[in-house]
Structure 1
């Protein structure tokens, strides 16, 4: 068991590049983690890390050992977690990352039903619009869109990630008619700044007939949040390009209208992400299956489609 603990300390340290950070995630002291790794090196007869006051890097032997034991460690941990579940039911802390507003609008309302089905699971939910490193940061799952898919992580599609142009009836009545995409260059745009890069992206509009046209809105203001852009557009201050999950409530309430309703931006998919394991923890499997079931049952895929 001592060797298993040492291997866990080694793998966590290699993943985050720090004894201190590994110790924080393992609820140990940095000295205890360093000592455990040192014992493992003595047992193996090789140096696994090159240490300095500023960095911790794997040796060639350390890289080889990590590739051999990392997947097996996760499999064993998942097997232990599954066996430790309350009376065979999924149990434990479920650490999930999701977009701030999207999570509040569409995931949090599902929490009551989820806990009624799986009362032994303890949610630890993080609301952030930036991509997280599931494996290195210890997340069981994440929900979002537009993320690169790193090695060892799989994605299950929940809904298309479409963006649409919206404006208030008052704004549209007071300004030049918009018949085709080129007309947008005469109008004030409420543009979205990427929370990841801080930049305003150049978008390509797609029509129902699969034609393409650049988005030529005149930048009047920028926002870093689609919900804020919708609230601004309601005031008649311009045309906003926003994600359908945020626009749909305003469109259904009639406080905003679609501009160029035959055109939209295709931004991929909103998916649920989780680490790929041969033996997925019961709590993670329960959550993934539940979210997919709820999105399908509520027809959210169709509701969020701009087509």
Structure 2
């Protein structure tokens, strides 16, 4: 196992070009990573890195060694993780990245059932509205939309949510219900700033006939979180274009009203992201299956649709 630890330290250092970054991934100190790599170099009798104060650079021997061992290392690590099945249950720390509002509303309520079913797995869930790098940050699973499919990552689609126009009954009290999109362009609106790009997201809409149109909203308030936007609409601040997962409960209880129900916006697929390794760790595999089955059983793909 000492040699395996040295090889893992080398591979992660090569992938990140840094002993410090590798240390963060492996939960060690940079000094321990450097010592492991030096031990490996001593056993092999070759120098694997050219070291400088700024970054690590692979030597020719290091590049050749990396090609030979990196894929095998992932397979061995997955095999070790899956060996826990011989004790009856998958185990280990499961690092999951979740969007704030969506994660709290739809994934966190599943926690009790998941840990009851898999008592040897320790959930380490991070609620964050940002793009994550699963491989370099050591994250097992991410649930969300628009995450870049970097090398080594795959996505399994869960649903294709739509966005709908909504307003509160009090906000509509002195207004006529709109009949066409142009009717709402002069109303105060709550618009969203993308947490990833920093840009105001436009209101691009379509209908069942695949006709497309765009509304230039009169921005009264700018927010960057869909749940905060829903709360602002409930406060009678203005209208908003909000994803169905965040607004469906408010539409069901009547606290918000959908406007122009023939029109909706696309937000792209909602997916669960994980490593593309052939031998997936058991803790990751059972969590992915657990979430996919929950979406199927609750028919969330249909519930997140505008129709």
Q: Give the alignment's TM-score, normalised by structure 2.
A: 0.93
Matches of 2:64 and 2:182 in 1, distance apart? 56
Aligned residues, how many? 307
Provide Cα deviations, 1:106-145, integer angstroms capped at 9, x if missing partner.
1011111111211111111111111211111111111001
Following superposition, the deviation at residue 223 of structure 1 comes to: 0.5
Residue-by-residue CA offset, 1:176-216 (whole Å, 9 max, x unaligned):
54222222321111001111122212242111211111132
Determine if contact 1:181/1:216 at 8 Å carries over to the other structure. no
In structure 2, runs of 5+ residues without a counterpart are: none
Contact 1:153–1:274 (Cα < 8 Å) also in 2: yes
Measure, in 2, the Cα distance between the counterparts of 1:166 and 1:64.
Answer: 58
- Separation (CA, whole Å) in 2 of partners of 1:116 and 1:36: 38
Partners of 1:230 and 1:246 within 8 A in 2: yes
In structure 1, the partner of 2:210 is: 210
- Please say if 1:284 is aligned against 2:276: no
1:137 aligns to what?
137
Residue in 1 that maps onto 2:8: 8
Secondary structure at the counterpart of residue 247 of structure 2:
helix
Partner of residue 234, structure 1: 234
* Preserved contact between residue 78 and residue 280 of structure 1 (Cα < 8 Å): yes
User: Equivalences for 1:112-261 in 2 at 5 Å?
Assistant: 112-175=112-175, 177-261=177-261
Spell out, residue by residue over 1:42-94, the C-alpha distance to the aligned partner (whole angstroms, 9 max, x if none): 44454433322122233455444334322211110110111134623211111
Going from structure 1 to structure 2, the CA distance change for 1:162 and 1:46 (only over 3 Å counts) comes to farther
**The 10-residue stretch of structure 1 (230-239 or 56-65) with the greater mean CA deviation from structure 2:** 56-65
Separation in 1 of the partners of 2:115 and 2:291?
12
The residue aligned with 2:53 is 53
The question of whether the paired residues in 2 share the 8 Å contact of 1:102 and 1:245 is answered with yes
Q: Secondary structure at the match of 1:301?
A: helix
Q: In the aligned structure 1, how far is the partner of 2:230 from the partner of 2:302?
A: 21
Tell me: CA distance 1:62–1:240, structure 2 relative to 1, closer, same or farther (3 Å): farther
Contact (CA 8 Å) 1:153, 1:273: kept in 2 or not?
yes
**Alignment root-mean-square deviation, CA:** 1.8
Seen in structure 2, the aligned counterparts of structure 1 residues 239 and 120 have a Cα distance that, compared at 3 Å, is same
Mapped partners of 2:110, 2:100: distance in 1: 15
**2-structure distance, mates of 1:63, 1:261:** 58
Whole-Å separation in 2 of the counterparts to 1:39 and 1:93: 28
1:293 match: secondary structure: helix
TM norm structure 1 = 0.93
Could you tell me how far apart the structure 2 residues matched to 1:155 and 1:64 are? 30
Instruction: Give the Cα–Cα distance (whole angstroms) in 2 for the partners of residues 206 and 3 of structure 1.
Output: 58
Q: Which secondary structure does the structure 2 equivalent of 1:174 belong to?
A: coil
Range with bigger deviation, 259-268 or 284-293:
259-268
User: Is the alpha carbon distance of 1:150 and 1:25 closer, same or farther for their aligned partners in structure 2, counting shifts above 3 Å?
Assistant: closer
SS at match of 2:273: strand
Q: Output the CA distance in 2 between the equivalents of 1:62 and 1:133.
A: 25
Work out the CA distance in 1 between the residues paired with 2:137 and 2:94. 13
Q: Which moved more, 1:151-160 or 1:25-34?
A: 25-34
Cα distance change of structure 1 residues 22 and 218 upon mapping to structure 2, 3 Å threshold: same
Structure 1 stretches of 4+ with a deviation exceeding 6 A read none
Structure-to-structure mapping, 1:283-302, within 5 angstroms: 283-302=283-302
